A and B are shown apart, each in its own frame.
Chain A
Amino acid sequence: MNINAAKARSLLYANIRNYFSERGYLEVETPTLSPDLIPEATIDNFGTTFINEFQGSREMYMIPSPEIFIKKLLASGSGSVFEISKCFRNCEQLGQSHNPEFTMLEYYTVGFDEKDSIALTQDMIRKTALSCCPASVLEDFEILSVRDAMIRYAKVDIDELQNPRDLRKAAQDLGLPIPGPESWDDTFNRIFINFVETSISKDHPVCLTDYPKQIECLAKASGNYRRRWELYIGGLEVANCYLEETDKEIAKDYYRREYQKLLSLRSDNGKVIPDVDDSFCETLSKLPKCSGVAIGLDRLLMVESDAKDIDDVLLFPFSQMIGH
């Protein structure tokens, strides 16, 4: 058990709480057990059962992020909020950069767009950093659009390759084997993972902005892209940010398509299929203009303490508990 890692975590949390409290954000605590989730086909869930012996039982789900509850708060007029929350994601690798139960910091700023959130995140990481934090973590963010990153590292201009067939041809020209027809975003990810994620700088944080609109999520779209970014520190994906979608019809459409995708991926392999409730889209339409950031705190601790494995910053790594 790594008590020093626990001390570092305790200090980092205290710094983060001070940082947001001083700036008027309300710290909230929302449930980790929910009767429904936002459909996300690529995030596998944990399910459990609430048992009431006399009045009926029901399926419940461990949240993969506190987003669903925080957005309800924002829609009800809470103002800017932050939360340090346990989150749960199933079917991922144990160790290295994943633990099925992990800790997320989410902060939502009313009136901000995703670009304002970049400046806030840079400032927050610098002002809350542990004294042992390597200088490379505190360097200025390199801000690079996904389109430019794909041009720089894979010599592929995705603006010119919006048709799945054309993108597939480009991937094959790069030497990537593709077994058969697949969606545009699957091919995009093949190129991204092989050429971009392995090439981005580890000497300073890199903020990749404007992801392709074909990668569906609840961030607002603009042209071929979505107004969101992901932050990489030391090559490790640490944070994700949206300009939040507030259009009810677009959100409903997302729910419908994403749930279908989720069903087709999970119907025959025993994976958890969570209940979804699209009345949440009404809630989204009441959101003020805001931008939300989610930071994996275990990963932030890893880069700040120069740990190579997530197990090094956890007191009870999941992999050790189940004997892997």
Chain B
Amino acid sequence: MIKAGQIDKGTALLIKGQPFICVEREFVNPGKGSAFVRLKLKSPTTGQVLQETIKSQDSVEDINVEQMDYQYMYNDGENFHMMNVDTYDQFEVPMANFEGYELLMKDGETYRCTVYNDEILDIQIPSKVVYLVAEAEEAIKGDTVQGATKFVTTETGLRVRVPIFIKQGEKIRVNTETKEYLERVNN
């Protein structure tokens, strides 16, 4: 058991016998009241989403998970194919449970995963990742209405708004939570 206040993004909990992963956590303090934590929990197996707001001091059942490294090989449109880098065991992870991850994960890259009962509950993507610019729009000269930005597409297919000086073939660092451009990365 852990206190609700200890729950963080990625914490695995057992709710009515089902594993859930915390995907959002916010502390809330009502005026002159004790501290609460607002949680958004997702079941990696069924995709079910729960919203709960409980007191930080309430106890909740956490589960013993393992953190293991998996290499992302490819996706077939329905599943991510992942390989355990120690055992070479391969796993299929339903893409529907990790919406948008295909735009963030790079083929061949290793990701730390949360594993419970031989099931991948969570794939941890670093908060800042360097991507290759696969396609870049030509910036329209004199168009400064948008603060002189344009869209590029990364090698993973993610569209990012960037300053106009970014060119195809360059590398950029992206905040994977907000999908926002952070900086150009020199080779």
Q: Which one of B26, B34, B58, B59 lies within 8 Å of A189 (CB-CB)?
A: B34
Is B54 a contact partner of A240 (Cβ separation < 8 A)?
A: no
- Identify which of residues 205-233 in chain A touch chain B, using a CB-to-CB cut-off of 8 Å: 211, 215-217, 230
Say yes or no: is A247 at the interface (Cβ < 8 Å to chain B). no
- Roughly how many angstroms separate A308 CA and B55 CA in the complex, as a whole number? 24
Determine whether the beta carbon of B27 is less than 8 Å from that of A193.
no
Q: How far is the CA of A177 from the CA of B59 in the complex (A)?
A: 11
Contact with A along B51-71 (1 / 0, CB 8 A): 001110011000000000000
Interface residue from A42, A96, A179 paired with B32 (Cβ < 8 Å): A42
B147 in the interface (beta carbon within 8 A) = no
Could you say which of B27, B31, B53 contacts A211, with CB atoms under 8 Å apart? B31
- State whether A193 and B31 are in contact (beta carbons under 8 Å apart), knowing that A179-B58, A179-B59 are contacts in the complex: no
Chain A residues contacting B17 (CB-CB under 8 Å) are none
Q: Which residue of A lies closest to B31 (CB)?
A: A230
Contact call B31/A237, Cβ cutoff below 8 A:
yes
Residue of B nearest to A188 (CB): B33
B115 at the interface (CB under 8 A from A): no
Enumerate chain A residues within 8 angstroms of B53, measured Cβ to Cβ: 190, 193-194
Task: Kindly state the separation between the CA atoms of A16 and B34 in the bound complex, as whole angstroms.
Answer: 31
Task: Work out how many contacts link A and B, with CB atoms closer than 8 A.
Answer: 51
When C-beta atoms are compared, the residue in chain B nearest to A40 turns out to be B32
Given A179-B58, A179-B59, A193-B53, the answer on whether A42 and B27 have CB atoms closer than 8 Å is no
CB nearest neighbor in A for B59: A179
**Extra A-B contacts (17), CB below 8 Å, given A189-B30, A230-B31:** A40-B32, A42-B34, A92-B27, A92-B29, A96-B26, A98-B27, A98-B29, A185-B33, A186-B34, A189-B34, A190-B53, A190-B54, A197-B28, A197-B30, A211-B31, A215-B33, A217-B32
B181 touches A (CB below 8 Å):
no
Which chain B residues lie closer than 8 Å to A197 at the CB level? 28, 30
B55: contacting residue among A40, A190, A217, CB under 8 A: A190
| Interchain CA distance A179-B55 in the complex, whole Å | 10
Tell yes or no: A20 within 8 A of B by CB: no
Contacts of B35 in A (CB 8 A): 42, 91-92
CB distance from A32 to the nearest CB of B (A): 21
Interface flags for B17-39 (1: CB within 8 Å of A; 0: not) read: 00000000011111111111010
Q: Which residues of B contact A192 (CB under 8 A)?
A: 30, 33
| Contacts from B to A (Cβ < 8 Å) | 26-36, 38, 53-55, 58-59
Tell me, yes or no, whether A57 is within 8 Å of chain B by CB.
no
The answer to whether A93 has its CB under 8 Å from any CB of chain B is yes
Which of B30, B35, B54, B55 is most buried by chain A, counting CB atoms within 10 A of its CB? B30
Contacts of B29 in A (CB 8 A): 42, 92, 98
Shortest C-beta distance, A177 to chain B (Å), equals 7
Distance between Cα atoms of A209 and B95 in the complex (Å): 47
Q: Are A193 and B34 in contact (CB under 8 A)?
A: no
Minimum CB–CB distance from B81 to chain A (whole Å) comes to 34
Q: Least Cβ distance of A230 to chain B in Å?
A: 5
14 A-B pairs (CB sep. < 8 Å): A42-B32, A42-B34, A91-B35, A93-B27, A185-B33, A186-B34, A189-B30, A189-B36, A190-B36, A193-B38, A193-B53, A197-B28, A215-B32, A237-B31
Q: Return chain B residues, CB-CB under 8 Å to A177.
A: 54
Q: With A and B bound together, what is the CA distance between A177 and B60 in angstroms?
A: 11
A179–B54 Cα distance when bound, in Å, is 10
